[in-house]
Amino acid sequence: MQKVAVMGRRRKKVVRIPKKRLPKFFSCPKCGKETVRAEIFREESRAVAGCSSCGFQEEFQVKPAQGEVDVYCMLTDRVYSPSKKASITNTKNA
Ligand SMILES: [Zn+2]
């Protein structure tokens, strides 16, 4: 009978995941400058994206999986198709 005991050589492998660098500022769909910042308030599941150049600001509801980029996408969506409320049933859920 053979017993293979692998012991004592527990090597902790530290896997370092390089943080993906997100651009802090997005370009503004209104004025074109890269001065749009998205801020997410996880506790309230909402986000605010605003341009510090022209003052354009919008508020959104976010899901936990969504990030700044998604907020920015929603912002551009809102600008480019303001009246098109595609398949969003109830945006105002506050
Ligand atoms: Zn702007």
Q: Is the pLDDT of residue 42 over 80?
A: yes
Asked whether residue 68 is assigned to any structural domain, the reply reads: yes
Ion ligand 1 contact residues with beta carbon within 5 A: 28, 30-31, 51, 53-54, 56
Asked whether residue 72 is assigned to any structural domain, the reply reads: yes
How far does residue 77's CA lie from ligand 1's centre (Å)?
15
How far does residue 14's CA lie from ligand 1's centre (Å)?
42
Q: What is the pLDDT of residues 55-75, one digit of tens each?
A: 999 999 999 999 999 999 999
Q: pLDDT value at position 37?
A: 95
Asked whether residue 9 is assigned to any structural domain, the reply reads: no
Average pLDDT in the 73-89 region?
75
Q: What is d(CA 85, CA 66) in angstroms, rounded to the nearest whole number?
A: 19
**Which residues, in sequence order, are CB contacts of 72 under 8 Å at separation 6+?**
26, 36, 38, 49
Q: What is the mean pLDDT of the chain?
A: 83
Q: pLDDT value at position 23?
A: 57
Return the percentage of the chain with pLDDT > 70, whole number.
73
How far does residue 78's CA lie from ligand 1's centre (Å)?
14
The domain containing residue 48 runs over which residues?
Answer: 36-80
